[in-house]
Structure 1
């Protein structure tokens, strides 16, 4: 994979030519085999124009570790597993150390440390982490089961933190459950969901990301931008971004469960009257948005979608989507398969 992007230029003591000069920090897509399977990830490296022969590239120790982490996370995403960053977020959400979270789940003390830096978790372990991520009631159950692993004061401290999460849990839980219920038939990785399971955290973050950069973002336009983000992700990386499933509707691609989607707790949606006095849903940025769940390559895709459609009116983006092969070759009401995203028009 020859293509690369220059991130920045810095002066440093170059180990290739043993002089202090300007080198380029670059990034590119690279391929590696993990557990017998090829995955593509974003690799960072330094380039020295003065290198001897064919030796022009090198990495720092921290860069190597970061590249390995990106590769493992690419494998995780491909298989619907939590990334290392998502595991960190679960732990930090409850204010737990790596050892505390491992004990709470009944695992060895070093297990979480390994999952956040080196090892890829098995699916059974991933399921337990997801239970805790989405449901503080489940975290409380884990504490009841494994509370004897903590000193009394520590156990009470952890319980207090979990109870704090329960206070804001009710509405968010119900809205998430409603959307997840509509995706009960799409849990398996397939061409319908772009080989990505429904990721509500990412959906909320992507929508707020769009709203920060697109003025007057209303529901019709947002739905099409979501499809283009997922379709472009699938075309470039072989998998979608959000796990949403889209149907062929008169207004273009529309996600399954779009009514429940607009009621998610971490979205800032306001009902406003149009010039014709018809109610419209206006999407604003959300102060609670967690953009850490969006990777750098996903942000690049979102920026392309924003650049293309930020000035489009609702009718313009609907008409544009109607000309896509993915729309023309599917029947009304049917799921739009992501394999047709390979034919998406160039941005």
Structure 2
């Protein structure tokens, strides 16, 4: 029970001591080996105060399944695969059943059900899911290819749902494509991207999360805060948060594709006058942004960055960043390697 946190107390018949009493529901960070890889995950369990110390913990069947799913999702996150929740979100976004989505992609009918509950998809299947995640055109192509797997009525029903998404996602898809194109040379995990591939969903959530807590958030300041968030994440876990690559510029660290970044459709960016001729980009929170993609560790880091820099003016945060070893040991235009983030001043 050491290192665990109490969630609640449940009045029940305890299977360990065979008495009716309050049993503690607790959670902790546990480790498990999956496919030869050690993974950390949140584990829930029940604790009996009356049982012997060596036998005072137990789980229900549903808890065991949830714990195993959390562990498998931990493996997925570690290896850059979609989690079970993200697969559910893709399916629900198109209004499809598990069988419908499996047929759409040309898979066995039980495949999606397994991926949402227990099995871990391989990279090839993960890539196919990502193809349709934010691209209804790709979903339409799959529907054409696998049309024979549906009745005529079902095919029309699914097609209409996909077409509905085209209007919603058209501009967003194009803006994402432009930003992703900037990262075509960084499609493998390396020191330049903090061993994390570009994750636009997480990046959008990071930016909106910061904007909710910083009232006067402009582009220059945001770029530095993102670098600090990615660097602190790398320092603490060995993985950057967003997967962006940063260059050494006069105004501090700037991510590759920062112009395209500001054009992402889901970001709430407004051009505001600054003087008679100049304009600045003011970043506001995005309404209805889904922050579930951010882990507790992500939010802790973002909160620390906000607390540190929320009252800094742009010049002050630039000057502060200029003193980092990551900046002093790189030259103008150089990519700032995340290995230098180990030397960053820590304010977690």
Shift of residue 136, structure 1, vs aligned partner = 0.9
Instruction: Report the aligned-residue RMSD.
Output: 2.3
Q: Is the 8 A contact 2:25 2:44 kept in 1?
A: no
Q: TM-score, normalised by structure 2?
A: 0.90
Q: Which runs of 5+ in 2 are unaligned?
A: none
Question: Which residue in the other structure is 2:222 paired with?
Answer: 222
CA distance in 1, matches of 2:218, 2:253: 15
Question: Which residue in the other structure is 2:9 paired with?
Answer: 10
Question: Which residue in the other structure is 1:119 paired with?
Answer: 119
Shift of residue 54, structure 1, vs aligned partner = 4.4
CA distance in 2, matches of 1:251, 1:335: 14
CA distance in 1, matches of 2:301, 2:62: 26
Q: Which runs of 5+ in 1 are unaligned?
A: none
CA 1:41–1:232 in 2, change beyond 3 Å: closer, same or farther?
A: farther
Question: Which residue in the other structure is 2:184 paired with?
Answer: 184
Shift of residue 263, structure 1, vs aligned partner = 0.3
Q: Is the 8 A contact 2:27 2:42 kept in 1?
A: no
CA 1:21–1:7 in 2, change beyond 3 Å: closer, same or farther?
A: closer
CA 1:340–1:91 in 2, change beyond 3 Å: closer, same or farther?
A: same
SS of the equivalent of 1:287 reads coil
Question: Which residue in the other structure is 2:200 paired with?
Answer: 200
> What whole-Å deviation, never above 9, does each CA across 1:62-94 have from its counterpart, x for those lacking one?
333233222222222222221212111111111
Question: Which residue in the other structure is 1:315 paired with?
Answer: 315
Question: Which residue in the other structure is 1:338 paired with?
Answer: 338
CA 1:315–1:91 in 2, change beyond 3 Å: closer, same or farther?
A: same
CA distance in 2, matches of 1:274, 1:7: 51
CA distance in 1, matches of 2:311, 2:62: 41
CA distance in 2, matches of 1:345, 1:44: 35
Q: Is the 8 A contact 1:230 1:240 kept in 2?
A: yes
CA 1:170–1:9 in 2, change beyond 3 Å: closer, same or farther?
A: closer
Give the number of equivalent residue pairs. Answer: 345
Q: Is the 8 A contact 1:78 1:195 kept in 2?
A: no
Q: Is the 8 A contact 1:26 1:47 kept in 2?
A: no
Question: Which residue in the other structure is 1:238 paired with?
Answer: 238
Question: Which residue in the other structure is 2:74 paired with?
Answer: 74
Q: Is the 8 A contact 1:26 1:45 kept in 2?
A: yes
CA 1:125–1:313 in 2, change beyond 3 Å: closer, same or farther?
A: same
Q: Is the 8 A contact 2:6 2:24 kept in 1?
A: no
Moved more, 130-139 or 337-346: 337-346
CA 1:15–1:304 in 2, change beyond 3 Å: closer, same or farther?
A: farther
Shift of residue 277, structure 1, vs aligned partner = 6.2
CA distance in 1, matches of 2:27, 2:276: 51
CA 1:16–1:245 in 2, change beyond 3 Å: closer, same or farther?
A: farther
Moved more, 51-60 or 303-312: 51-60
Q: Is the 8 A contact 1:101 1:112 kept in 2?
A: yes
Q: Is the 8 A contact 1:266 1:288 kept in 2?
A: no
Question: Which residue in the other structure is 2:26 paired with?
Answer: 25
Report 1:49-198 matches (<5 A). 51-198=51-198
Shift of residue 15, structure 1, vs aligned partner = 5.1
Shift of residue 19, structure 1, vs aligned partner = 5.2
Report 1:240-255 matches (<5 A). 240-255=240-255
